[in-house]
Amino acid sequence: MARPAPGIEMLPQERQQRILQRLRSHGRVLAAELAAEFGASEDSIRRDLRELAAKGLCKRVYGGALPLLAPLAPLKQRHAEHAGRKLALARKAVELVREGQVLLIDAGSTNAAIAAALPERMRLTVVTNAPDIALALYDREGFEILLLGGRIHPHVGGAVGGQTLRELQRIRADLCFPGACAIEAETGLWGFDSEESLFKRAMVEASGETVVVATDDKLGTQATHQIVSMTDVQHLVVEHDAGRAVRAAFVAKGASVHRAGVVRA
């Protein structure tokens, strides 16, 4: 991003456009860094961030701002969106799976792609709350499937609630794939629905390692309910074009970041 020429101060509208560009490319912005880069006061930058937040274009946090993440669309709609990107992520994610493991796979369109990409004849046990994932695997060779019971949340596409949690608490898995509504390096994994977020947290607690697979729009963002911090996430699988600064922020928190392959047209 080009710096303003010496002695020339950018107009507020121009600063705000550049702030939005930075949010899209870096996932978060800090007021002090923007002030130094734009040659403006921190008060001016904070005013810009307040105005952008009031327009619904970002979320104010202490010291800066995060991109605003829209609530998830219904599962049926999500299955049809960005299929190539999710397939590339799934292929990278299943490289972390080892023979004989017990896997916990959450509901969601990206996780459905992961289940479809799992290799056969590896003696895998798949525990899931999602009927569509269980159905996709039940007639494939080499899988034992455990479908958790409970109330099916129509938006989530999987079982949530007390019964589901009780059944999950009797499971011990090697690897879990909680669906990612939002993930941010400083604060961790986030969800929109309270019951769904409790289920995701229980998945992490029941597993030896956690793999979060996230499309670019979910990186550097927050939702409503914090699920776990980054100390509980061992692996993050991102798209091939995920920004270097965003990837570095997660690596600094101790996560192994894995880039998916290039999406072919």
- pLDDT tens profile 225-238: 899 999 999 999 99
In this structure, what token pair is assigned to residue 10?
A: 């950018």
DSSP 219: B
- CA–CA dist 134, 145 (Å, integer): 7
Number of H helices, E strands in the chain: 10, 15
In tens, the pLDDT along 76-86 reads: 555 556 688 99
For the cut 50, the answer to whether the pLDDT of residue 47 exceeds it is yes
Q: What is the pLDDT of residue 112?
A: 94
For the cut 70, the answer to whether the pLDDT of residue 134 exceeds it is yes
Rounded percentage of the chain residues whose pLDDT exceeds 90: 60
- CA–CA dist 175, 154 (Å, integer): 26
CA atoms within 13 A on the CB side of 10: 23
Question: Does an H or E element contain 24, and which?
Answer: helix 12-26
Q: Which amino acid is at 114?
A: I
User: Nearest Cα to 184, choosing from 250, 241, 256?
Assistant: 250
- The rounded mean pLDDT for the chain is 88
In this structure, what token pair is assigned to residue 252?
A: 């600094």
For the cut 80, the answer to whether the pLDDT of residue 24 exceeds it is no
Q: What is the mean pLDDT of residues 43-49?
A: 91
Q: What is the pLDDT of residue 127?
A: 98
Q: What is the pLDDT of residue 11?
A: 82
Q: What is the pLDDT of residue 170?
A: 95
In tens, the pLDDT along 96-133 reads: 999 999 999 999 999 999 999 999 999 999 999 999 99
- CA–CA dist 238, 241 (Å, integer): 8
Ordered by where they begin, the domains of the chain are 12-67 (1.10.10.10), 75-259 (3.40.50.1360)
